[in-house]
């Protein structure tokens, strides 16, 4: 049976995501940015929390865990092995290519260092569903806080190789600001211009711009397009190494 998804806002601009297996009733909270909204989402859906799958150690992704656990003490906490020291007290620590079951659903762990060294994402292979945390955003990517941008670039290239119809859930609603930046580096991209208009109207109506798809990101997200000749030309970097182009894009966005 396909997974059911419930997405909602937490804190200022974080997304909460519940993934539910209707066959077994298992439900995972993807990170736990804030206890109140996660518990409200569980009450609203009537789903019983069984798992909390953590992408990385930042407080806006794990800060809600204690409050959620108080209400669901048996929920299993899954966290990145490489963040064992920074996310103490998890029940299971996972590494590259490990499979995690949420009821009958299976998530494959993909290590995506860059935003943080321990960052992982969860790919529900059968459902073509990716929970990307702060590695990949709609029209953007996370800041490279704990590694050189080239490391983040390599991580994003791993995600770019997933099936084109992969549905992507991200950690934050940053899409409008990302779209504005994207247009400055890829102004002639027709698909991007169209998407910008859609994003503006969604945000004007206070609606989420997520989930996105890998196909759409590959066409419009400059951080997945560092080898694109139009972007390279716009940056006066024609023929440059895509990792160097990505680094420049990341630095320009940091200053934007
Ligand atoms: Zn983060
Ligand atoms: Fe975050």
Which domains, ranges and CATH numbers included, belong to the chain? 4-170 (3.60.15.10), 175-255 (no CATH)
Q: Give the active site residue among 57, 119, 153, 172.
A: 172
| Ligand 2 centroid to residue 145 C-alpha, Å | 12
Identify the pLDDT of residue 201.
97
For the question of residue 172 being annotated catalytic, the response is: yes
Identify the pLDDT of residue 164.
98
d(CA 141, CA 252): 13
What is the pTM (predicted TM-score) of this model?
Answer: 0.97
| Ligand 1 centroid to residue 13 C-alpha, Å | 12
In the structure, ligand 1 is a single-atom ion and the residues with CB under 5 Å from it are 58, 134
What single-letter DSSP state applies at residue 172? B
How, if at all, do strands 99-102 and 105-111 pair?
A: antiparallel
Structure confidence by residue, pLDDT tens digits, 74-92: 999 999 999 999 999 999 9
Structure confidence by residue, pLDDT tens digits, 168-218: 999 999 999 999 999 999 999 999 999 999 999 999 999 999 999 999 999
Identify the pLDDT of residue 222.
98
| Ligand 2 centroid to residue 69 C-alpha, Å | 20
Structure confidence by residue, pLDDT tens digits, 117-156: 999 999 999 999 999 999 999 999 999 999 999 999 999 9
Identify the pLDDT of residue 24.
98
| Ligand 1 centroid to residue 64 C-alpha, Å | 14
CB atoms under 10 Å from CB of 73, counted, come to 7
Q: Give the active site residue among 61, 83, 119, 153.
A: 61
For the question of residue 58 being annotated catalytic, the response is: yes
The whole-chain average pLDDT of the chain stands at: 98
Structure confidence by residue, pLDDT tens digits, 26-74: 999 999 999 999 999 999 999 999 999 999 999 999 999 999 999 999 9
For the question of residue 128 being annotated catalytic, the response is: no
Question: What is the DSSP annotation of 162-222?
Answer: S-TT-EEE-SB--HHHHHHHHHHHSTT-HHHHHHHHHHHHHHHTT-----EEHHHHHHH-G
Residue 256 has pLDDT above 90, yes or no: no
Identify the pLDDT of residue 55.
98
* H or E stretch at 200: helix 190-204
Mean per-residue pLDDT, 4-21: 98
For the question of residue 119 being annotated catalytic, the response is: no
Q: Is 203 exposed, middle or buried (0-12, 13-18, 19+ CB in 10 A)?
A: middle
């Amino acid at each position: 049976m396909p997974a059911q998804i419930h997405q909602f806002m937490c804190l200022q601009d974080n997304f909460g995501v519940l993934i539910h297996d209707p066959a077994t009733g298992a439900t995972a909270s993807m990170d736990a940015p804030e206890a109140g909204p996660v518990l409200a989402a569980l009450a609203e859906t009537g789903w019983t929390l069984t798992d909390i799958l953590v992408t990385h150690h930042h407080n806006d992704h794990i800060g809600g865990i204690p409050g959620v656990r108080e209400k669901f003490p048996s929920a299993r906490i899954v966290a990145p092995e490489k963040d064992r020291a920074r996310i103490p007290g998890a029940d299971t620590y996972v590494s590259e290519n490990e499979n995690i079951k949420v009821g009958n659903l299976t998530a494959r762990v993909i290590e995506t260092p860059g935003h943080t060294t321990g960052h992982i994402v969860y790919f529900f292979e059968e459902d073509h569903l990716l929970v990307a945390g702060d590695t990949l955003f709609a029209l953007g990517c996370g800041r490279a806080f704990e590694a050189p941008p080239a490391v983040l670039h390599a991580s994003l290239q791993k995600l770019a190789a997933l099936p084109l119809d992969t549905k992507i859930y991200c950690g934050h609603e940053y899409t409008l600001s990302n779209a504005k930046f994207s247009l400055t580096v890829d102004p002639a991209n027709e698909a991007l211009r169209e998407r910008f208009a859609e994003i503006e109207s969604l945000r004007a109506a206070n609606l989420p711009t997520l989930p996105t798809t890998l196909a759409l990101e590959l066409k419009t997200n400059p951080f997945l397009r560092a080898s694109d000749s139009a972007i390279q030309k716009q940056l006066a970097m024609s023929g440059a190494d895509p990792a160097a182009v990505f680094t420049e894009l990341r630095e320009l966005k940091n200053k934007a």
